[in-house]
Amino acid sequence: MNVEDFKTGQVILIDKPLQWTSFQIVNKLRWAIRKKFNIKKIKVGHAGTLDPLATGLLIICTGKFTKTIEKLQAEIKEYTGTFTLGTTTPSYDLETKVDQTFSTNHITEKNINEATKLFLGEIKQTPPLYSAIKKDGIRLYELARKGETTTIESRKITIFEFEITKIELPNIDFKIVCSKGTYIRSIANDFGKALNSGAHLSSLRRTKSGNYTVENALDPLEYIQKNISLN
């Protein structure tokens, strides 16, 4: 591809590796395009962030296609991952250490599958304190890391599908199809409560967004090598 391709606009499908931030990937691609074509500016943005501890489909737009980001963000998403029952963390995932433990002796396969029904359809969800949502101009995770607490308003989201794909206690694997703005970490925390126990998200992978799937995505460095070779 040449510089005009990127300026006119590209939709780039990236399979985000573990520990990378969405912002780091955007910066990496922007830097590679600028260096390759010796240009000062190029618009690059992503259509929906993924946490550092999540992997999977990250949609990147360049040039004029950055105008479509809002539309792409609104698409229905599909995720797979694992909840670990019996323990909770302040961040609802592995970013923070376990803070409480609960019994799982009473939990059965039937309990688990029945609990998924409580989450189907339009529901209200409270986002995690460890999130990028801003309150009074400050991101919530910044407050959380200082040990401060605040009131977080619940939001309406829609869960279209919630399937348990494997049960190997304390871990249960799932597939969830949901609307924009859904926090799978919050579902993990609420799912633990629904089972009269606790739970946190121990792995997460975005597999689909709208008509785009992770099967067609590339590792960021592989994409750069194939399409923005710096040699």
Beta bridge partners of residue 134, listed in sequence order = 139
Q: Check: CB of residue 19 under 8 Å from CB of residue 53.
A: yes
Among the listed residues 5, 15, 51, 219, the single catalytic one is: 51
Is residue 136 among the annotated active site residues?
Answer: no
Closest CA to 89 of 36, 144, 132, 16: 144
Buried b or exposed e, range 199-217, using 16+ CB within 10 angstroms? bbbbbbbbbbbbebebeeb
Residue 174, CA distances (Å) to 5, 50, 139 in order:
38, 18, 29
Closest CA to 83 of 67, 66, 107: 107
Name the token pair of 211: 């008509």
Q: Check: CB of residue 46 under 8 Å from CB of residue 202.
A: no
Give the catalytic positions in this structure.
Answer: 51
